[in-house]
Chains A and B, each alone.
Chain A
Amino acid sequence: MGVSSSFERRTSAPGAKNNIRNIGIFAVIAVALELLIGDSLTQANLVNLWMFYACVSIGFYYLFGVSGQFAFSQAAMTGVGAYTSAWASRDLPVIPAIIFATVVTAVIGGVFVLALRKASHFYFGIGTLALSETYHILAIQWNSFTGGEGGEVYGIKGLSLFGIDFTTDKSAFWLMLVVACGVLTVGAMLERSPVIRESKATRDQRTVADTLGIPHLRSRVTMFMLGSAMAGFVGAVYSHWKMGLSPNTFGLELGLGVFLMVILGGLTSKWGAVLGAAFYVWVPELISFVEEFKLMVYGGILLIVIIRLPEGLIGIEHVVMSRVHKRRHAASGETPTSISERVVTDLPDSLKPVLNNVESTILATEAMTVRFGGNTAVNNVSLELKSGEVLGLVGPNGSGKSTFLNAVTGVVAAEGKLSIYGQQIPLGNANALKKAGISRTYQSPQTYLKLTCLEDVLLSTSDRKFTGIAAAVLRPFATLKHERARWAIAEDALEWVGLRHLADTKVAQLTYGQRRLLELARAIAGKTSTLLLDEPSAGLNASETEVLGEYLMKLHAAGVSILIVDHKVDFLNSICDRIAVLNVGNLITIGTPDTVWDDSRVVDAYLGTQ
């Protein structure tokens, strides 16, 4: 018996509001500008430069803003695209040369990230600085490739299509407009796929993303390739527009400039890059003081923005929207604090687990041991979670309960054996657990503050088809079809925990109790048949804990097996079939709620008496 959906299904992707409209507005503004000021040669050049820088910065937005990779290589990649296309166009026509250059840039980016995949954040950043410097040296010294002296190249083939010559500033405008809209459209397609949210999840909390089955290396590599390719592509176009190159065009000043553009515009949206580029191009033009002291002003702005307005100009919109949101909530009378006023319903059919009826033991550990330096946190623990049961795991502070859970889910290194449905699997294999339908929650809810509720729940999807950048761009309809199916399940999960009305709200605005339930919704949205819960009642008051218990009982009724670590005794007694007790890393006893607390060893453990 389940609940069928009684609400309207969404049709638009989360986080992809109004892309078509916004791209249209952008095109209109660009054309209007061109018509208004494009007669002046300087201004026409500036409009084109705006779109050029916007594309470079949008690429940087994906690489740094979304994927979190601190890189100094964006300007260099633009240069690589430019010089490579110039070189290729000696023998090839312009358009194949541009495509070739884009591919080369993407490949260089991909190889670079793969080579440095184990490098930490700082090393990676310094690596990109070295990459950028390498480009610079090659551009100046490798005359046989660049075809110039010291990187100064002239006489590059211009682009002409259908008889139109795109090498004057006025005609190049249409070329740049198409390029910019193309880049923005690629971005829009990404937003209708799992790519962006999964990239952000990998950026913000990698361990949790791993447990959810998100391929973090693929995400990092493809996002870096994408960002670099966008730079390379537009650099290649630039070389055939200007028909000449100089190494300083793509030098340190631009490398720092892209930081300014995306930080000032706002790191939270591709439109921030567009805004920042507009600023970068026109403010020195309009304010001569700025032109004179350009570098100092840019540095000052970067400093002030990062200190006072880290979300950039786009962030102003967010501040306004969240104030509106707060006022709306206050007006509707909804008290956003407690989750105790809830009607808990049965688990809907779409979320019911597919049960493996053969094995009676879901999960078994044998001699599980975890050591931190000289300290043995978990000592030789052999435990079984039986199919369909609710097993509690308790013990005083420091008894190793959470560490045991972390060992099972591969978060910490451990010795011993782990078997799922009777098959032994190597420890630390997060994917195997996910495939077996095992999900976990954490002591404090590991929900992604920068994502919306729906995006967060979508992360646990078991449908991993068409989730990459290539799929999003080359197979957009298949991607969207699978997304719609995922949205349906995620909405069912949100509806079940009573959070569907907050689907498009950022998780950061939820209360603690709501985030707890959100994490639970995410855990069951992925075809989960087994839940490992780490102190789910922590931070909840008595009535909230009761509600949590009701949710867990509904899951139990639908056949979900649960291993729950907690210390609220009444709560555990009301939901558990069996309770296992740990002390100082050792398993002391397992019993039913009626018998286990009378065991004097258990009382000793808690009171610390021997």
Chain B
Amino acid sequence: MGFFIENLINALSYGAAITLAAFSFMVPLKATNIVSFAQGDFISLSAFIGAWLITDKGWNWSIAYGATLVIMFGAGVVFERLTHGSLRGRPVDEVIIATLGVAFIIRGFISRWRGANPQSLESPLRGKFFTFAGAAIPYQRLVIIGVTIVVTLVLYYVFQRTAFGLQLRALATDPEVARLHGVRTTRLAIIAFGISSFLCGLTGLLVGSLTSFDIGLGFAIMLGGFCAAIIGGWGSIAGAFVGGLVLALIERLFGAYYFTHFREMLPLVFLFLFIAVRQRGIFRGAESYGRL
């Protein structure tokens, strides 16, 4: 029983992390129709920045985390200017390649700056856990789940109830009409990218501080995020949440019992079968309007 609960919590917190990753690329996607492949490296970057501020600069964890998030937001703004902003009117493939270029740059920067060895990011809850029905449940994992639920609700609220969210949704469907009604597309794109990197930062700090991390931290989470978004219905917030949950349960819970050595492959195989059979997500997402 304890084994089951431990792996269940593990799965839930992993699902939460990939849901956050999914959100991080969905926000700029809504604003600009661009898929960024640099999310993984942004996630890794934030963990490294956090570790550097705490370990090398000796800052208190709360200040370090806050500063990291602010830096990440700024990095997102710069990212927008380099990719979307420099490639107005160009085919989408070219912008995606630009995001690949940025991914390369960030990855190279991290490896030059901090090297490829495992790093440690301090967290107030590190190593603390409580026992329940024979399972050791780390507080940190519950925090990740909690933060994700909060972020989901906040994002849902922002998208559905605020003017900003409304403008983003209009922009995603018909950018020209949005402009004709005064929507400031450039400003929105910049903010969207900033929020995206902020979410990456959140993910990196939360997951990086669980145990140790290295430069490959973000890649797997980003891939999971893409898969979650596809399964849940591209562009749907609720969908990403459900998709993340489904994939994490497959990998971390089901995979704890069967195919354990190959469990990382399980969500990928599921994804293939899913796309091949169903072609669209669980919820009505952007594809139902033929916008992909």
Contact = CB atoms under 8 A, between A and B. Distances in A.
Q: Do chains A and B touch in the complex (CB under 8 A)?
A: yes
Interface of A: 68, 70, 115-116, 118-123, 125-127, 129-131, 133-134, 137-138, 141-142, 252, 256, 259-260, 263, 292-303, 306-307, 310
B60 interface: no
Nearest to B230: A123
Contacts of B108: 293-299
A10 B42 CA distance: 55
A115 B112 contact: no
Contacts of A256: 100, 103-104
Chain A interface mostly: helix
Given A134-B269, A141-B261, A295-B111, A123 B275 contact: yes
B102 interface: yes
A303 B85 CA distance: 13
Contacts of B276: 115-116
24 contacts: A70-B93, A115-B275, A115-B276, A116-B272, A116-B276, A121-B92, A122-B234, A126-B226, A129-B226, A130-B223, A137-B265, A252-B219, A292-B112, A294-B108, A295-B104, A295-B108, A296-B104, A299-B102, A299-B107, A300-B105, A302-B104, A303-B83, A303-B105, A306-B94
Given A70-B96, A121-B292, A259-B97, 19 more contacts: A116-B272, A123-B234, A129-B223, A130-B268, A133-B264, A133-B265, A252-B219, A256-B100, A259-B100, A295-B104, A295-B105, A295-B107, A296-B104, A297-B108, A298-B108, A299-B102, A302-B97, A303-B101, A307-B86
Q: Which 7 A-B pairs have the closest CB atoms?
A: A295-B108, A299-B104, A299-B105, A296-B108, A302-B101, A303-B101, A120-B292
Contact of B292 (A123, A138, A300, A302): A123
B279 interface: yes
Given A141-B262, A299-B103, A263 B271 contact: no
Contacts of A133: 220, 223, 264-265, 268
Contacts of A121: 92, 292
A297 B109 CA distance: 10
B98 interface: yes
A138 B83 CA distance: 34
Interface of B: 35, 82-83, 86-87, 90, 92-94, 96-98, 100-109, 111-112, 219-220, 223, 226-227, 230, 234, 261-262, 264-265, 268-269, 271-272, 275-276, 279, 287, 292
B100 A127 contact: no
Contacts of B94: 306, 310
A71 to B, nearest CB: 11
Contacts of A141: 261-262
Given A116-B276, A263-B97, A306-B98, A298 B104 contact: yes
Contacts of A301: 101
